Amino acid sequence: MGDQHNRGEKKEIKTQKTYLAMAAIFGGATGGSMSSMIKKAAHQLSEDETPDPELKGKYEGNCNRTACQRPGAVWYNHSTREHYCSSCASTLNKVNRADAMRMFGHDLCTIVEK
């Protein structure tokens, strides 16, 4: 619950920073229409940055690691049975190499070539 709350706060802060940056670019909001335009653009930016939950962990979708969510996940994790980006898969392989070799006879994450 706390982790979810922190993500919400981080997203709100990011949206506020985007709003302030856009206001500075446009020279500040001089009227109601400029302010509403900036708010709408900031809202759209934050929506565009939000990964599609349907793609999380799917092949060529978003990395299954919640803190990452990069697109192009082609590394299959034989424990979670989900897909990860190359960076997260590399970290998982380094941290879990001994256990994975004992359990699976290979790295925890292996690349999927289709």
Higher-confidence residue of 38 and 111: namely 111
Mean pLDDT, residues 30-36 taken together = 61
Kindly list the domain boundaries of the chain, sorted by start residue. Answer: 2-50, 54-111
**How many Å apart are CA 66 and CA 104, to the nearest integer?**
25
Rg (CA), the chain: 20
pLDDT of 100 over the 70 cut: yes
What's the pLDDT score for residue 15? 63
E-assigned strand segments in the chain: 61-62, 71-73, 75-77, 83-84, 109-111
The helix, strand and coil proportions of the chain, stated in percent and rounded to the nearest 5, come to: 55, 10, 30
The tokens describing 59, both together, are: 């092949």
